[in-house]
Amino acid sequence: MKFRIDRDALADAVAWTARSLPTRPTVPVLAGLMVESTDGGIALSGFDYETSARSTVDADVADEGRALVSGRLLADICKSLPGRPVDVSVDGTKVSVVCGSSRFSLQTMPVEDYPQLPAMPTASGTVSSDDFATAVAQAVAAAGRDDVLQLLTGVRIELEGSRISLLATDRFRASLRELTWFPESPDASATAVVPAKTLSDIAKSFTAGGELTMAVATGDQGPGLIGFEGSTASGTRRTTTRMLEGEFPKVRQLFAANALTVAYVDRQELIDAVRRVSLVAERNTPVRLTFSDGQVLLESGSGDDAQAQETLEARVDGDDIVVGFNPTFLLEGLQVMTEPAVHLSFTQASRPATLAGVQELGGEPNTSFRYLIMPMRLPG
């Protein structure tokens, strides 16, 4: 194996592929990054039996072949190389990396021990990579972080015709994000639950613009697989990850309730006020919001301890309501919204409240992202 390649293209591709490599692999070869040179370019791949990553980059290939080297080390080296073309070649059991007057020699790992990467699923469609990254960042806000309930650490992806729905919940709050995509077949229908962290990393890594191809394969045996593929200036990137199995809670129906009270508040003002007021909220205590004519009063703390209050301007339609929220749940939802104001709808103080972004007080909320929180209440 022998090739010459652009330094930035190599560094980007290695960094992207090595990103998902395990830091403490169960088998040593899984810490490796496979480098293959073929006619006209190279392919880099990594795999940890959950997530696979494969990227291709254009290169001047003098000699075809492949080698397995430490992914972390190669990524660190490429990141710090000077801005000159890089020559990579195999020399016996060593891989040599030469760039300008820098010279590295890396130990190889046995290629034959490396597992076969799963194939990219075929049934697919495309979506704007930027739209998808935004949508995922919003949906994952409500995903569980407790590994005891592993399924809830996932995001449920529903593909139905030209609509993608992303749903997440940790049992106390829930999110529903909808966006459109272009399926190859107009009657496409599939679902997948993907670990939120993995999905988030993948979506963020494809934001260089352009289209993202997404494909779902339901597993005949064992868990199904979801694959993503996008292109860069100098090649392609493809990643697959295993789905989580189990019956995901019925999140969508939670959003059906009719509101009795609707409130509009400036989003950034509300974030800042919740942050301030919650400074005195002890663990397990809420920020209490009282919505009445033209304002919302935020309160936290109790008479025995520190207390805080703040009043914000708000437009309130319907009955006055007092509701308590875990301040973290409230902030995490508000922070992923993009509109200048937030639309809050309530039925009763003990029932879930739904938040959505809105351009102006009194406007029509953007229902493509809705975030629902179960309020806290006094016992009894």
Partner 1 sequence: MRRQATVLHLDLDAFFAAVEQRDKPSLRGRPVVVGGLGARGVVSTASYEARAYGVRSAMRTAEARARCPHAAYLSGRFDAYRAASRIVMGRLREISPLVEPLSLDEAFVDLAAGDDTRDLDLDGLRALAEQVRADVAERTDGLTASVGIASSKLLAKIASELAKPDGLHVVTPGTELDVLAPLQVRAIPGVGPVTAERLRRLGVQTVADLRGVDLPDLTSLLGSAYGTSLHALARGEDHRPVVAERETKSLSVEDTFETDITDPRVLADVATMMSRRVSERLRGNGMSGRTVTLKIRHHDFETHTRSATLAGPTDDGRVIARTATGLLAEIDTSSGIRLLGVGVSGMADWVQDDLFVTDEDAPDEGLSDDRVSDDGRSDEADPDDGPDGRGPLPDADAGPETGGLPEAARDATTRTPPATLRSRPRWAPGADVVHAEHGAGWVWGSGLGRVTVRFETRHTGPGPVRTFDADDASLRPGTVEP
Which residues contribute to the site for partner 1 (CB under 8 A)? 146, 169-174, 249-250, 254, 284-286, 302, 324, 326, 350, 352, 372, 374-380
Least Å from the CB of residue 146 to partner 1: 6
Nearer to partner 1, 316 or 376 (CB): 376
Least Å from the CB of residue 173 to partner 1: 8
Nearer to partner 1, 97 or 281 (CB): 281
Of 304, 305, 323, residue with least CA distance to 314: 323
Nearer to partner 1, 132 or 325 (CB): 325
Q: Give the whole-angstrom CA distance, residue 207 versus residue 157.
A: 19
Listed in sequence order, the residues at least 6 apart from 169 whose beta carbon sits closer than 8 Å to its beta carbon are 142, 143, 144, 152, 175, 249, 251
Say which DSSP state 161 is in: T
Nearer to partner 1, 286 or 365 (CB): 286
Nearer to partner 1, 296 or 372 (CB): 372
Least Å from the CB of residue 167 to partner 1: 12
Least Å from the CB of residue 374 to partner 1: 5
Least Å from the CB of residue 379 to partner 1: 4
Distances (CA, A) of 74 to 43, 78, 88: 14, 6, 11
DSSP per residue over 109-149, as a string? E-GGGSPPPPPPPSSEEEEEHHHHHHHHHHHGGG----GGG
Listed in sequence order, the residues at least 6 apart from 105 whose beta carbon sits closer than 8 Å to its beta carbon are 91, 94, 95, 96, 97
Least Å from the CB of residue 333 to partner 1: 14
Q: Give the whole-angstrom CA distance, residue 343 versus residue 251.
A: 20
Neighbouring C-beta atoms of residue 311, cutoff 10 Å: 13
Buried/exposed code over 315-332 (b: 16+ C-beta within 10 A; e: otherwise):
bbeeeebebbbbbebbbb
Nearer to partner 1, 204 or 351 (CB): 351
